[in-house]
Amino acid sequence: MRVHPVHGAFAAAGTLLCIVTAPAAVAQLPRGFPFEQRQRAAALDGGTEWLNTPQPLSPEDLRGKFVLLDFWTSCCINCMHVLPELKKLEHAYPHELVVIGVHSAKFDEERDPEFVRQAILRYGMEHPVLNDPRLVLWSRYGIDTWPTLVLIDPEGNEVSRIRGETTFEQLDRMLRRALPYYRQRGLLRETPLVFDFERQRAPATPLRFPGKVLADADTNRLYVADSSHCRIVVATLEGEVVEIIGTGEPGREDGPYDQATFDHPQGLALHGQRLYVADTENHLIRVVDLEARRVTTLAGTGKQRRLTSVVGRKVSGRPLRVALNSPWGLCVHGDYLYIAMAGPHQIWRLALDGSLVELYAGTGIEDIVDGSLLGRASEGSAFAQPSGLATDGNRLFVADSEGSSIRAVPFAPRGRVVTLLGTAHLPENRLFTFGDVDGPQDMARLQHPLDVAWHNGMLYVADTYNHKIKLLDPDRGTLTTIAGDGQSGNTDRPPRFHHPSGLSVARNRLYVADTNNHLIRVIELREGYPTATLELRGLQPPAAPRGKKPAFPAAEQLRLATQLVAPENGAVSVRVKLELPDGFHLHEMAAPNMWIEAQQPAGIVDPALLQRVVRPEVWQDELSLRLPVTAAEGSDVLRVWLGFYYCSAGPAAACKYRSVVWTVPITLSDQAATSSLLLEYAVQD
């Protein structure tokens, strides 16, 4: 939890616990009202852009719905932790609840609507987002903390607030308790709203938001955390792809490369034939045995550690029994793997022999404070979302992103954490002082740096929100920009980046994970710092996931007689034709959902093409799909689900949802008169 300095003090240890409060003003409550207090919710005007939705949401759109406002900012790790909990809630209550993210920027870079759009894509958000760069709604609602959730009931009353992190279970209990009251009184409108997700328009790319990169000169290998593709890409330093580790689907399965799964991996570290991976959203440390070609879980329980440590007390235990919290950066030194644990704002370490994982530095208070590795709040060091690590063999360098600072952590147990560049010397506003200033380290400024790399006595810094790569000379105490002009872009001459987040050096070249460009860039460490884009030859996006069957509520069941079809070029055609009432049309922005299954285990339909979601981009008079078959003769039974929205015309347009499932026995025969299977449905209103 992060508190805005205008409204309160910095967050202290233990703030992962949520605080549930109610609005201040109270009128007499109706009998049976499921909340303790209520007041009229403030208006939602004042933001600058609506994203992830085809149009701004009006009060009429939201009438009869529970509305959950999530005041968040993209950089905040606690906000990131809330997003998967909200996704579970949205899936559990698709007809009763609308979640709206209100993006209330902390950093200057976060005010840009394109920044917010990229964050929506990176986090896979499935709800509308209102950009609030001037903090208009933030102030109107009296918010002082990221994240804060505000619950509005179907009558437009604010009924509860949650400051800090929360869980699906807590929110679910609140809604389950409240829904009967509103349903019995006819106050709920349970037709789901339709949103136009940014991801539906995003082009497929070989890499997707790569987070970290690791270059190894001895083996001529480049390892890339292809974060949003949930896999590790292995290539030569020249860009020839040689291996993919992971299926590309999110998960936490151990096993061979082609079966193992990750969930948005970030930091990488190499030690002999073992590649360590910060499996960030699984809250795990994984290890890849490069000889056995196998992935194993080394530390973590798979659950987020939601309690910070008690200030001044060391935490340690068997690695698979200790819960972790968003491990982000990794670095091997001696017998330990050091971990930038972004969630609790601490540095941890894991014994390479697998015997122990322990807290190494940081009180858990989110701040930029120098001091002893561990200790009481008055003397111990404090970090703010550490995200990248490097070492010169004597110190551990930390990109401390939320404080826009670079820290140095000693390996000697009685040493002190010091700030090489940043805000530790300031009496206040340490987390809110940032900029883009080169020069002496006491005057230089960064904006949300996410990684560091050490090479030949110099520390290279990914100055992420400034779209720059900078060089910190610890001996001279100076900071210099070596690539990037401060504008986001995707060019080599002049070099422009878009949120560079990962760095690694090999053969006098700096490899850069250019995250929002979905690319790897290479900077020659010589005069002029020539920059080039590395082509990862042979790399393709992961195959489309089989996915989970979407909900088709109240689907109308239709069973057809056996259809004779003649395969043509190894396939049959499935044609779907809809007849809508006069004055209605298919929703322009919400593509229909389809799901196809075959009922015969040894049937004649290729199973690789089944049990997956089909989202047609264009639907004219009908939809036609090519369905490969495995034989020229034989039988099967298909089940085809279809869900679609259709709308009336005019300024008072209303949209409705309908779903249908056809059960269709098919027989292949070269004597059939057609190669098409026609499925028709007339909507009756």
Average pLDDT of the residues in 242-265:
95
pLDDT for 664: 92
Per the model's pLDDT, the better-predicted residue between 522 and 630 turns out to be: 522
Q: Is the pLDDT of residue 677 over 50?
A: yes
Residues 322, 432 within the same domain: yes
Same domain flag for 385 and 281: yes
248 contacts: CB under 8 Å, gap ≥ 6: 229, 230, 231, 541, 542, 543, 545
User: Does residue 539 contact residue 206 with C-beta atoms inside 8 Å?
Assistant: yes
User: Cα-atom radius of gyration of the chain, to the nearest Å?
Assistant: 27
Same domain, 110 and 48: yes
Percentage with pLDDT > 90 across the chain? 71
Residue 401's CB: how many other CB atoms inside 10 A? 30
267 has a pLDDT exceeding 70: yes
Is 546 domain-assigned? Answer: no
Contact in structure between 596 and 614 (CB atoms under 8 Å) = yes
Place of tokens 């002049």: 494
Q: DSSP of 197-226, one letter per residue?
A: -GGGTPPP-SS-S---EEEETTTTEEEEEE
Instruction: For residues 190 and 230, state if they share a domain.
Output: no
Beta bridge partners of 661: 557, 641
Q: Are strands 571-579 and 676-682 parallel, antiparallel or unpaired?
A: parallel
The answer to whether 395 and 409 are in contact (CB under 8 A) is yes
Does 217 share its domain with 195? Answer: no
418 and 509 part of one domain: yes
Q: Has residue 206 been placed in a domain?
A: no
Q: What is the mean pLDDT of residues 611-618?
A: 48
E strand segments, 393-497? 395-400, 405-410, 416-421, 439-440, 451-455, 458-463, 468-473, 478-483, 491-492, 495-496
Q: What is the mean pLDDT of residues 647-675?
A: 81
DSSP secondary structure of 596-649: EEES-TT-SB-GGGSSSEE--S--SSEEEEEEEBS-SSEEEEEEEEEEEEEEE-
pLDDT band at 548, cuts 50/70/90? low
Q: Tell me: do 304 and 383 sit in the same domain.
A: yes
Of 168-182, 242-256, 528-542, 662-676, least confident by mean pLDDT is: 662-676
| Higher-pLDDT residue of 174, 551 | 174
Answer yes or no: are the C-beta atoms of 573 and 624 closer than 8 Å: yes
CA dihedral sign, ordered 428, 429, 431, 435: negative
Residue 363 CB coordination number (10 Å): 32
Kind plus residue range of the DSSP H or E element containing 529: none
Q: Return left, alpha or beta for 457; rule: phi > 0 is left, psi -120 to 50 is alpha, else beta.
A: left
- pLDDT-derived band at 639, boundaries 50, 70, 90: confident
Domain count, the chain: 3
CB 601 within 8 A of CB 636: no
DSSP one-letter code for 475: T
Q: Tokens 């339909």 sit at which residue? A: 605
> Between residues 389 and 631, which one has the greater pLDDT?
389
Residues 54 and 155 placed together within one structural domain of the fold: yes
DSSP 8-state secondary structure symbol assigned to residue 334: T
Q: What's the burial of 292, exposed, middle or buried (CB within 10 Å: 0-12/13-18/19+)? A: exposed
Q: Is 660 helix (H, G, I), strand (E, B) or coil?
A: strand
DSSP secondary structure code for residue 323 in this structure: -
Could you tell me which residues are beta bridge partners of residue 69?
100, 150
Last residue of a domain, one of 499, 534, 569: 534
Please give the Cα distance from 609 to 619 (Å, whole number): 20
Residue 650 makes CB contacts below 8 A (sequence gap 6+) with: none
Question: How far apart, in Å, are the Cα atoms of 73 and each of 23, 140, 215, 335?
Answer: 23, 17, 32, 37
Residue 540 within a domain? no
Q: How far apart are CA 429 and CA 368, in angstroms?
A: 10
Q: Which is more confident, 224 or 648?
A: 224
Residue 427 CA to residue 184 CA, distance in Å, equals: 55
Identify the bridge partners of residue 682 per DSSP, sorted by sequence position: 579
Domain assignment present for residue 549? The answer is no
Do 576 and 528 belong together in one domain?
Answer: no
Query: Phi then psi for 87, rounded to 5 degrees?
Result: -65, -40
- At which of 160, 177, 200 does a domain end? 200
- SS3 labels along 25-84: CCCCCCCCCCCCCCEECCCCCCCCEEECCCCCCCHHHHCCCEEEEEEECCCCHHHHHHHH
> Nearest CA to 359 among 401, 311, 395, 292?
311
Same domain, 180 and 293: no
Going by pLDDT thresholds of 50, 70 and 90, the confidence category of residue 310 is: low
**Which is more confidently placed, 651 or 223?**
223
Reported as a single tens digit per residue, the pLDDT across 107-119 is: 999 999 999 999 9
For residues 397 and 452, the answer to whether their CB atoms sit within 8 Å is yes
Res 592: pLDDT: 74
Domain at 265, CATH number: 2.120.10.30
Q: Is residue 293 assigned to a domain?
A: yes
Q: Cα–Cα distance between 422 and 433 in angstroms, integer? A: 9
- Domain residue limits at 244: 213-534
- Does residue 580 have a pLDDT over 70? yes
Per-residue confidence (pLDDT) for residue 571, from 0 to 100: 81
Whether 65 is covered by a domain: the verdict is: yes
The verdict on residue 115 lying in a domain is yes
What's the order of all strands across the beta sheet hosting 531-534?
500-506, 509-514, 519-524, 531-534
Same domain, 513 and 566: no
> What tokens were used for 232?
């590790």
Residue 19: phi and psi, rounded to 5, are -120, 120
Q: What is the pLDDT of residues 409-440, one digit of tens each?
A: 999 988 999 999 999 999 999 999 999 999 99
The answer to the question of residue 499 being in a domain is yes
* Measured distance CA(447)–CA(285) in Å, rounded: 28
Q: For residue 10, what pLDDT is reported? A: 36
pLDDT at 553 exceeding the cut of 80: no
By DSSP bridging, strand 294-299 and strand 284-289 are antiparallel
Report the mean per-residue pLDDT for the chain: 89
* pLDDT tens digit sequence for 439-476: 999 999 999 999 999 999 999 999 999 999 999 999 99
CA 290 to chain centre: 28
pLDDT confidence of residue 480? 98
For residues 565-585, average pLDDT:
87
Please identify, among 200, 221, 253, the residue that sits at the C-terminal boundary of a domain.
200
- C-alpha atoms less than 13 angstroms from C-alpha of 156 in its C-beta half-sphere: 10
How far apart (Å, rounded) are the C-alpha atoms in residues 400 and 406?
A: 6
The residues facing 511 across adjacent strands are 504, 522
pLDDT tens-place string over residues 354-412: 999 999 999 999 999 999 998 777 789 999 999 999 999 999 999 999 999 999 999 99
Cα separation, 234 vs 224, in Å, equals: 7
Whether 16 shows a pLDDT value over 60: the answer reads no
Q: Are residues 9 and 145 in the same domain?
A: yes
Position 17 pLDDT exceeds 60: no
Reported as a pLDDT band with limits 50, 70 and 90, residue 7 is: very low
- Look up the CATH number of the domain holding residue 128: 3.40.30.10
Tokens of 638: 């298909």
Give me the helix-helix angle, 77-92 and 168-184, nearest 10°: 40
Q: Which residue has the higher pLDDT, 609 or 507?
A: 507
* Mean pLDDT in residue range 52-70: 92
CA–CA distance, 168 with 184 (Å, rounded to integer): 24
CATH code, domain with 589: 2.60.40
